[in-house]
Structure 1
Amino acid sequence: MDGLAIERQREDCENLARFRHWEVVETYVDQSISASDKTKKRPAYLQMVADYEAGLLDAIVCYDLDRLTRQPRELEDWIDRAESRGLLLVTANGDADLSTDGGRMYARIKAAVARAEVERKGARQSRAHVQRARQGRPPKGVRPLGYSTSGQIIPHEAEGVRAIYAAFLRGDSLQGIARALSGTQMDGEGLGVPHLPLHSRTVVLERNARREVEGKVPRPVPEDRPWSASTVLGILRNPRYAGYSVYTSKDVRRQETGESRRKALRDNLVKDENGELVLGQWEAIVETDQWWTVQNFLDDPARVTNRSGSTVRKHLGAGLYRCEVCGEPVRTRARYYSCKAGHLNRTRSAIDDFVRALVVERLKRKDLRRRKKQADPEIKDAFSERIAEQRARIARAERDYDAEVIEGEDLARIRKAARAEITRLEAERLTSGTGTVLAPILGTSDPAQAFLEAPMALQRTMRHPHDGHAQEGTAGQEGVCS
């Protein structure tokens, strides 16, 4: 990036042009853009091709053949131009001259060797990245918000990440959280989310500071602009915040775009030789069950993504209550809840009021308050990890089903067993007085009132099963509506 190598190459090419008595009409430079990656755009290279096709030049001098291209297919295009249209193409090191059959043969061999070396280098790098991920070491590349490049927590950014997760679980929209981070939120939006400078700009400023210390020229700094909902979504989808090690291959990154790429992070959680998820050698910023609960909300097929920016369902039982006859989730129609098969049709407001009353009654019991006072703070992490393992088990089974590795009945069996274990663990956790997702309710002096005042997203994480125990859950847990 200091430009010295470019100047050396330019000087050698101009010397060769003078030796051949050629007039230099244009110099094309693509600085720090690899010729080996066919997916990358090389603006100067494309302009050179266009200028040749337009007849503005009839000879090309390049420092070395691999400075022109490392793609055998592109080289053949230049050889065709040399053979059919008289293009003169030579290299400053004198090893390639497309005007002779020997030069063309050498060019083809060199291009093939260069391509093979690129592929070998890519394989070595990919293997190194996989090994690094399986060891739970921080990945290379741009640091995420809240972490340094070495994986150490940056306190004020980590607090921002926790606030983002808490706001989303409260029911705040992605747009509202983005406005809060930008300092432009509306009244009642993104409460508790701090104003932070745009992370991509912060990273460039940090890199420039290091470059100045090294005596290098700083890179252009992007303009300070508001946060986007897409960036917030990327933070909510990132498994690193829950302490998971993840690796996505370059092929997957090329194929996946937008939200599908963020889901790919979850689908590519690194597993050890026993099939268990690998935890990173860094401190998690959010708890594992909290992260999985956010994924459940984001994966909800009925999640609203229209202009309102709402990310949660608008009715307490939609997709949550299940028909006692067929076991299918109920739907909302006008003022009613009904199942797809038509076994039931009940007034929505009456059912929701009934369920809320049951939860409030349970939250008012003295034994709940007594257990909460006796809670062991160390128990929370144990429950959180075990619950997260079951949610990861469901996610792996769903991925295997999509890949046609397992049948639908296998997926149903795994889901049923994992959900039953989640229900048992969450009931046990509530009995011990611990929990993260419902801390805004269970952590208050009056859980019953806090539940009634909570946003719909938090209310939907509570249910009242037949055994009489209220418990912490997810957006996909069942309650029976009959």
Structure 2
Amino acid sequence: MKSTPTGDARTRAVIYCRISQDRTGAGLGVDRQREDCEALAERNHWDVVEVYVDNDVSAFSGKKRKGYRQMLADLDEGRATVVIAWHTDRIHRSPLELEEYINLCERRGVATHTVQAGELDLATPTGRMLARQLGIIARYESEHKGDRVARARRQKSLKGEWTGGIRPFGWGVPTGEMKKKTDRKTGEEVEVPELDMLKAVPEEAEALRYWTDTILAGGSVRGLVKWCADKGILTTRGNPITHTDMRDMLMRPRNAGIAVWRGEEVGRGQWEPIVDETKYRAVLAILKDPSRTTTPGAQPKWLGSLLYRCGRGECDKFVYVTQSGGRRYPSYRCQDGHGGGRRAEILDQYVEDVIVERLSRPDAHDLLLPSGDQVDVAALQAESEQIRRRMTDLAGLFGAGQIDMVQFTEGTDTARAQLEGVTKQLAKAAMQDPLVGLVGAPDVRKAWKALELEQKRNVLRSLVEVTLKTPRPGRMPDGGYFDYEAVVFAWKRGRQ
């Protein structure tokens, strides 16, 4: 269906260019494709009325291609009768997509010409057959390449090597060399610094260790996100660190030098770990603990919210802070709505004073919990690796048909349960007593004030239970109206 000039009439043509990470059959940038297509149009005396470009979008991936969809819409409106592309695989690689294209070309009398594969006359059975054959070949090449890439990445993962992707926070020191990379926006090759993914970036590694220790000391992900914002620390893409980003970075096996393939740990990596594996396992256990899951809404703003207990009569419910009922200031109130209230600011300050005073005594070291040194970490880590190898072996036996689904499921469930127990033991070895940073501090009050609220609440949970008894009416002996004697402390560690 090639057109030739007749008098002043010239055939209207459009050009379609695409480049993706899969450059099989082209290996060219968009500009080079366009130049070759324009040369073909010039040789045939066609008027190019539009050029459609899709950069970094694979026809095989299934992702929406805006340029391609706009071209189909314009062809359906009769804007042109010829489509020019560098090769047929630049237009489509999906059989379903090809059939849609063939139907449109038949309906609108559109011919397809390519620089490399010549003309495809989709108005004839022979042309359609050739287009389908080329589509099948392109599909095969995409699947075959995808399989090769997947096998290569798996092999690298099993060896503990870096498999590519977005630079993980903590790794990637410039080597001083440059490498070529395709720019996602322009499709052109540009030079970027070569990174050594086995070496840690000092300042990022320091941040990862700080985050890990903070979580082990009772800190919160929310607090770390704020810390990053205050320090101006960003993701490797240059974006502010979100709550999800922080959790993902803390739970990344790479931190502890562990290689992963498709979400499963496959062994030790070839890089030096930034975080000790014991600490990593502990952080994992803490962040996966269902009791840490919070419902959407405001976070506690007061030290004893839902931690202090009501001691009025037989009540033992937790109290919370409210400013309802015409109160001029926030007050603690029982969940059952008992009358009266304790001014939150005064009560929290009193509890803080009592805790600081107790932790400032000479015998404060007696309050510390036994250290994790009593746990045989090396033996637990060896047991952990054995369990993971057993899970890998089970998968291999199932894949080879040597065990059935029931045996595979039962074996895997047992192994996972054992692994969970080992992980909890490792977590105990690494989890830091929330009192550690306070006991023995030169200035306990200063150390207390430096803690974020959630860390203070962890100290409270661990050290003492506060119960609010019915206060005495009227003015107290100190001249005020707050009954300190109605605040009862039941110490969970050591002596009063």
Match of 2:100 among 66, 77, 98: 77
Separation in 2 of the partners of 1:458 and 1:74?
Answer: 62
Separation in 2 of the partners of 1:61 and 1:426?
Answer: 62
Residues 284-433 of structure 1: matches in 2 within 5 Å? 284-302=273-291, 303-308=293-298, 334=318, 382=378, 385-386=381-382, 405-406=408-409, 411=413, 415=417
Residues 90-101 of structure 1: matches in 2 within 5 Å? 90-93=113-116, 94-101=118-125
Separation in 2 of the partners of 1:410 and 1:367?
Answer: 43
Q: Equivalent residue for 2:257? A: 243
Match of 2:246 among 219, 228, 232: 232
Percent identity for Structure 1 against Structure 2: 31
Look up the SS of the partner of 2:249 in the other structure: helix
TM-score (norm 1): 0.59
Separation in 2 of the partners of 1:314 and 1:240?
Answer: 37
The CA deviation at 1:459 is: 7.8
Whether 1:159 and 2:196 are equivalent positions in the alignment is: no
Q: Write 1 or 2 for the structure with the bigger share of helix.
A: 1
Assess if the C-alpha contact under 8 Å between 1:292 and 1:388 holds in 2. no
The CA deviation at 1:443 is: 7.8
Look up the SS of the partner of 2:113 in the other structure: strand
Separation in 2 of the partners of 1:152 and 1:78?
Answer: 49
Q: Equivalent residue for 2:24? A: none
Separation in 1 of the partners of 2:130 and 2:66?
Answer: 27
Assess if the C-alpha contact under 8 Å between 1:97 and 1:104 holds in 2. yes
Assess if the C-alpha contact under 8 Å between 1:181 and 1:227 holds in 2. yes
Separation in 1 of the partners of 2:379 and 2:75?
Answer: 67
Residues 49-64 of structure 1: matches in 2 within 5 Å? 49-64=72-87
Q: How many residues align?
A: 346
The CA deviation at 1:102 is: 2.3
Match of 1:30 among 26, 51, 54: 54
Assess if the C-alpha contact under 8 Å between 1:244 and 1:279 holds in 2. yes
The CA deviation at 1:146 is: 0.9
Say if 1:172 and 1:441 are closer, same or farther in 2 by CA, change over 3 A: closer
The CA deviation at 1:297 is: 2.7
Separation in 1 of the partners of 2:275 and 2:50?
Answer: 55
Whether 1:270 and 2:273 are equivalent positions in the alignment is: no
The CA deviation at 1:158 is: 0.4
Gaps of 5+ in 2: 1-18, 20-26, 173-195, 309-315, 320-354, 399-404, 464-496
Look up the SS of the partner of 1:25 in the other structure: strand
Whether 1:436 and 2:430 are equivalent positions in the alignment is: yes
Separation in 2 of the partners of 1:460 and 1:393?
Answer: 39
The CA deviation at 1:54 is: 3.4
Which one-letter code corresponds to 2:244 in the other structure?
A: S
The CA deviation at 1:118 is: 0.9
Whether 1:168 and 2:191 are equivalent positions in the alignment is: no
The CA deviation at 1:460 is: 7.2
Separation in 2 of the partners of 1:242 and 1:458?
Answer: 28
Separation in 2 of the partners of 1:390 and 1:367?
Answer: 38
Gaps of 5+ in 1: 184-193, 202-224, 249-267, 272-277, 318-331, 336-355, 428-434, 463-482
Separation in 2 of the partners of 1:98 and 1:83?
Answer: 7
Residues 12-31 of structure 1: matches in 2 within 5 Å? 12-31=36-55
Alpha-carbon RMSD: 4.8
Assess if the C-alpha contact under 8 Å between 1:168 and 1:174 holds in 2. yes
1:382-402 Cα offsets, whole Å, 9 max, x none, are 267358659979999xx99xx
Say if 1:236 and 1:458 are closer, same or farther in 2 by CA, change over 3 A: farther
Which one-letter code corresponds to 2:95 in the other structure?
A: P
Assess if the C-alpha contact under 8 Å between 1:198 and 1:226 holds in 2. yes
Separation in 2 of the partners of 1:395 and 1:314?
Answer: 44
Which one-letter code corresponds to 1:47 in the other structure?
A: Q
Q: Write 1 or 2 for the structure with the bigger share of strand.
A: 2
1:196-247 Cα offsets, whole Å, 9 max, x none, are 244212xxxxxxxxxxxxxxxxxxxxxxx53222211220221111221112
Residues 32-51 of structure 1: matches in 2 within 5 Å? 32-38=56-62, 40-51=63-74
Separation in 1 of the partners of 2:424 and 2:52?
Answer: 64
Which one-letter code corresponds to 1:126 in the other structure?
A: A
The CA deviation at 1:419 is: 6.7
The CA deviation at 1:293 is: 2.4
TM-score (norm 2): 0.57
Which one-letter code corresponds to 2:265 in the other structure?
A: V
Q: Equivalent residue for 1:321? A: none
Say if 1:24 and 1:413 are closer, same or farther in 2 by CA, change over 3 A: closer
